[in-house]
Amino acid sequence: MADITRRLGWRHLRGAPTAHIRHHRGTRLLHDGPGLSFWFRALTAAISEVPVDDRELAMTFHARTSDFQDVAVQATVTYRISDPAVAAARLDFSIDPDSGAWRAAPLEQLGTLLTETAQQHALDVLSRTPLSAALVDGVAAVRERIAQGLAGEPRLPATGIEVVAVRVVALRPEPEVERALRTPAREQIQQEADRATYERRAVAVERERAIAENELASQIELARREEQLVDQRGTNARREAEEHAAADAVRAEAEAARTVRLAEAEATRSVRLAKAEAEGAREVGEARAKAQAAWLRVHGDVDVATLHALTGTRLAENLPRIDSVTVSPDVLTGLLARLGAREQE
C-alpha cells in the first residue's frame, strides 16, 4: 500500500520498490513505474498500484479419483504480475487518493482465477487415476498437470500474470480411508518390527547359549583341574605321611636305641654302684666290727667304775640340754656317802 500524506489541497505519494504506480490525469498518463514519489491533486488524479513482486498463493481443494474416492489436494502457486499496464487495464488496482488503499480486491480476483484454473486441471488428472496410484505418483502428476495447464491458460497472459512455480504440498484421502490404507502398512511394519525383535531375541538366545556353553565348558575344565589338584594333593599327602611315618620310625628306632643304651648304661652304673655300695657296706661293717671288737677289748680290761663313768658320760652326751639342776640334800648325802665308800675301798 502506497504512503500518502496531505498538505493543504495537495497529496504526496511515496511508492514501494515492489509496487508499480500508474498516475493518470484524465486520459493522460503522468507517472508510470515502480517506487515513484510525486505530488498530485486528489480531485483530478487516478492512481493504480500494481504489485510486481513474487506472490505465494496457497490453495486447498477436493477432488475425486477414478474409484470414487475423495482426496484433498494442497498446492502452492508462485506468480508475479509481469505486465502491470495490462493488469491495471484488466483488473481494478486503483487506490484511494487519501488513504492509499485499494478500492477493490484485485489480488483476490487473481487468486480465484489461479485457484479455479489449477483445480480444473487437477480434477482432470485425478478423475482418471485410481486412489492407490494417486497416493503413490499423484503428487508429481498433479504438479506437472497444473504447471502445464497454467502455462497454457490464455487468460493469464491476457491479464499480465506469469506463473513462476507450482508446488503440490500434499494429496491426502479421507481420514477413514487413510486409516484403512495405513493399517496394512502398519501391520507390515509391525510384522517386520516383530521379526526384527524375534531375530534379535534369537541372536540374544544364541549368544546366551554360547555363553552358557562356554561357562559350562569352563566349569567342566575347572572341575577336571580341581580333580587333578585333589589327586595331586592326596598323593602329596600320602607321600608326606609316608615320609613322616618313615621319619617317625627312624626317630622311634633312634629313641629306642638311645633308651636301650641309656638303660644298659644305667644298669651297668647301678650294678657298679650296687657293687660299690655292697663293697663299701662290707668294708664299713668290717670296720665297725673291728671297732666294736676293739671297743669290747678295751672295755673288757677296764674296771667297773670306769665303765660306769663312761656310761654316764655317754648318757650325758645323749641327754637333752639341761639349763639347771636341783640337788636335794638327800641326794647329795647319798652321793657323798657312796663316794666315801668307794674311797675307803
CA 270 – CA 266 distance, rounded (Å)? 6
Cβ-based neighbours of 142, under 8 Å, separated by 6 or more: 73, 75, 122, 125, 126, 168, 171
Please, which pLDDT band fits residue 261 given cuts at 50, 70 and 90? Answer: confident
| CB under 8 A, 24+ apart: contacts of 174-180 | 174/69, 174/70, 174/71, 177/69, 177/131
- Closest to 145 in 3D by CA, of 176, 114, 118: 118
Strand ranges (E), 138-225: 161-173
pLDDT at site 1: 72
Which of 308 and 157 is assigned the larger pLDDT? 157
- What 3-state DSSP class applies to 344? helix
89/246 Cα distance (integer angstroms)? 135
Mean pLDDT of 103-118: 91
User: With bands split at pLDDT 50, 70 and 90, how would you rate the model's confidence at 21?
Assistant: very high
Helical H runs in 50-174?
Answer: 84-90, 106-126, 131-151, 155-159
Between helices 106-126 and 131-151, what is the axis angle to 10°?
130
| Residues 174, 160: Cα–Cα separation, whole Å | 37
pTM of the model: 0.52
| Structure letter (DSSP) for residue 18 | T
Eight-class DSSP state of 323: S
Please state the rounded mean pLDDT for residues 169-186. Answer: 82
Q: What does pLDDT average to over the chain?
A: 83
Give the end-to-end CA distance of the chain in Å, rounded to a whole number.
200
What is the DSSP code (8-state) at residue 215? Answer: H
pLDDT tens digits for 205-254? 889 889 988 989 988 989 888 888 888 888 888 888 888 888 888 888 88
Could you give the CA distance from residue 101 to residue 103 in angstroms, rounded to a whole number?
A: 6
Q: 20 pairs with which residues across the strands?
A: 34, 50
- Phi, psi dihedral angles at 162 (to 5 degrees): -125, 125
What does each C-alpha distance from 96 to 102, 184, 230, 245 come to in angstroms? Answer: 6, 60, 113, 132
Spatial strand order in the sheet of 70-81: 55-64, 70-81, 161-173
Say what percent of the chain tops pLDDT 70. Answer: 87
Give the tens place of pLDDT for each residue, 124-135.
888 888 888 888
- What pLDDT digit, counting tens, does each position of 55-99 carry? 999 999 888 888 888 899 999 999 999 999 999 888 989 888 888
- Please give the Cα distance from 59 to 268 (Å, whole number): 142
